[in-house]
Chains A and B, each alone.
Chain A
Amino acid sequence: MEFIKQYLKIINYAMIGLVFAFASFYLLSNAYHYLEIRKDFITDFNSQPLVVDFETKIQNVKENISLFTTNNYNGNIPMNQMQVIYYNLKSCADSFENKTIQEMKGKNKITIIDVYRLRESYENDILSSCIINNLHWTTTITPETLNSSYLLDNQHMIQLYINSLKEETSYLKKDLLNNSSYFYNTSIASSSIKDNTKDGFYEVMGAYQKAASFVEFISNWFRNEVEGNYD
């Protein structure tokens, strides 16, 4: 009887030890995760090279489209089509000055939630409103629908570029959603949590810049069309 008692005692203490280890693991893992996702990226949003670059591109877009008036255009493309393209580009330029970007302008500290909001705004305002709604026609034109050899020649390249813009932040989205689980922190998971704020910020602003480059590319063609530099 005494032997069984001693044996049960060993099992019991081993079990308490196991619970102690589990609880310690969860507590430390949670504390680590809590501190990691609180990490901020201290930077002045307005002076970030990526931000400056995309804002310069959008400024160029505005300047390019401002040259167009119904009186000064004498090209091959019908006037109503040029007006539609003008409004498409104008709408695109406006979507880059969305609410999220305006809110970010005064900030000198980026949090993981800011990165998430920037990504959401990229998906809603830039991809959906600008690229898909206003500029996706560039991939579907034919010589019958739009008389522009320049755009027709570059159509395949534009299609590839738009496809890459669509997928630009999909990986970041998965990464950001992962930040809400501390479960079994592998080295890969912890490294992705560690740099999510800083890396995510660069990734999403890189996507903004890439989209701005595309809009600038179309606006450059528009300007040349207005000035009569293309066929």
Chain B
Amino acid sequence: MNFLKHRWNDIVEYVMEKVIFLAGIISIAFVVLIFIFLLKEGLSLFKTYSPFSFLFGLSWYPISHPPKFGVVPLFLGSIVVTLGAILIAVPLGVGAAIYIAEVAPRWLREILKGLVEFLAAIPSIVLGFIGLVTLVPIVKEVFGLPTGLTALSGAIMLAFMAMPTIVSIMEDALTAVPESYRAGAVALGATKWQMIWRVLLPAASSGILAAIMLGIGRVIGETMAVMMITGNAARIPTSITQPVRTMTATIAAEMGEAVQGSEHYFALFGIGILLFCITFLINFTASFFIKRKR
């Protein structure tokens, strides 16, 4: 009996070890699979459409004859909205993180942290809906525009969606600064603000870079809210108060109509490849900054 039990334990041990190993490498498998499937569909476009006109074409007219799949207007749309959002979100987010981590009294800190976490939990579709009924009319009114569905509205909305990411990473970076740095600065007679400005911020600088990178990653991949409030005009933006269309919104808006296996369908996967590569680079850089901080 005892022998059998031992034998059974050995088998369980062996099987579990293999199963756990498989589960361990599954994330690699998925990254590779995602890339393969995007490539498989996306590259089919280039059998009939030149890669050069896809990457550098200045117009996106998927249903004209002949169709044009130039990705530049969509790429620029994403860039304008992302830049706008980051310019708004980074100063506010870093400022708020400093306030929450260093200045606010403990009771207030917990409330503020809770509110920021709550913002992170609200689905993007809900924020998009609220933006559509509140922010869009405000932007239209304030800037005297024919429509409020503009890159600017999208940037403001996305800035809010990036805020929780930026605040929480920045907070981590600040709390990771050793207590002795603070004590040293204060002992030299610095005010709390001088300590924060001259000691904490430089010490946490790679955290700031990581926060910016991950904020960009969060914003550039956002889809639903952007699709609802940027106006969806696939042309090269010349001003932030114009309607634009981002890469993500193009996929989400057009995949429903694209016929499976058509040029249009493949072109949307081509945009997917671009997005995948861009976010890959951003996350890779961000994790480099986070590692360096440690």
Q: Do A and B come from one complex?
A: no
B residues whose Cβ falls under 8 Å from a Cβ of A: none
